[in-house]
Chain A
Amino acid sequence: EAGVVQSPRYKIIEKKQPVAFWCNPISGHNTLYWYLQNLGQGPELLIRYENEEAVDDSQLPKDRFSAERLKGVDSTLKIQPAELGDSAVYLCASSPGTGGFETQYFGPGTRLLVL
C-alpha cells in the first residue's frame, strides 16, 4: 500500500513569492491534515479536512495561507505571499476516519526555505 505522497520535497523561494504544496493521501482515507513543523518542535495542526470539507481551520493564518481539497482526495496548501518566518517543514497526514483514536499516517513533508 502506497503511503502519503507529498511534493515537492524541498522548495527555496524569495520572500513575497507564492508557493504551493501538494499532498496525495492514502487511498480510501477520508480525513486529511496539514501540519506545520518548526525546527526543534513538534508538528502543529493547520487544517483538517473530512472529505472536501475543511472542518477545523482555526490555526490556519488565513491572511496568507489557503488550502483546498477538490473531490475529497488530493489537497493543495498555498502561501501567498511567503514571509521569512514561514521557513519550516509542511507535513501532510491522512487517516481512515475522524475519531480521536485514529492513527494518522504522515508523508515525508515539504521543507520550505524562504530567503
Chain B
Amino acid sequence: AQSVTQLDSHVSVSEGTPVLLRCNYSSSYSPSLFWYVQHPNKGLQLLLKYTSAATLVKGINGFEAEFKKSETSFHLTKPSAHMSDAAEYFCVVSNTGTASKLTFGTGTRLQVTL
C-alpha cells in the first residue's frame, strides 16, 4: 500500500520569498516520488522526480526536492517565488519496482502575492 499526505492545503508567500510545500509519504516498497504542478485549466506538468538516485532532486523553474527516507518526506522548495508559480501542486508516490500506479496527494494551492 502507498499513500501521500500533503500537510498544507494552501500556502501563501510573497514574491521573492522562499517556497516550502510539505509532503510525507508511505510506501511498503522502494518508492518513486514526483511533484506535479497544475495551472488553472491546464494539464498536469512534471516538476521533478526521485527514483532512488541522488536524494536531492532538481527540477524545472528553480524547484528542488529532497528525499529523506528517515523522515518519509519529500518536501518541495524554491529559493524565490515568482508570480507565475501560483498553481496547484501535487505530491505523488509510485512503487519503483512494479507497474506504474501513481497515488496523488490532495494538493497544495500556492498563492503568490506582490
Contact = CB atoms under 8 A, between A and B. Distances in A.
Q: How large is the interface on A (under 10, 10 to 19, 20 to 34, 35 or more residues)?
A: 20 to 34
B63 interface: no
A12 to B, nearest CB: 16
A98 interface: yes
A69 interface: no
Contacts of A91: 43-44
A45 B107 contact: no
Interface stretch (B11-19, B65-73, B98-106): B98-106
B90 A99 contact: no
Contact of A43 (B44, B51, B52): B44
Contacts of A42: 90, 92, 104-107
B99 A41 contact: no
Contact of B44 (A45, A48, A106): A106
Contacts of B51: 101
A72 interface: no
Nearest to B45: A106
A40 B95 contact: no
B32 A56 contact: no
Interface string B80-114: 00000000001010111111111011110000000
Interface in A37-53: 40-45, 48
24 contacts: A40-B107, A41-B106, A42-B105, A42-B106, A43-B44, A43-B90, A44-B104, A48-B101, A55-B99, A56-B99, A91-B43, A95-B100, A99-B96, A99-B98, A99-B99, A99-B100, A100-B32, A101-B32, A101-B51, A101-B52, A102-B100, A104-B100, A106-B44, A108-B41
4 closest Cβ pairs, A-B complex:
A42-B104, A106-B44, A101-B51, A100-B94
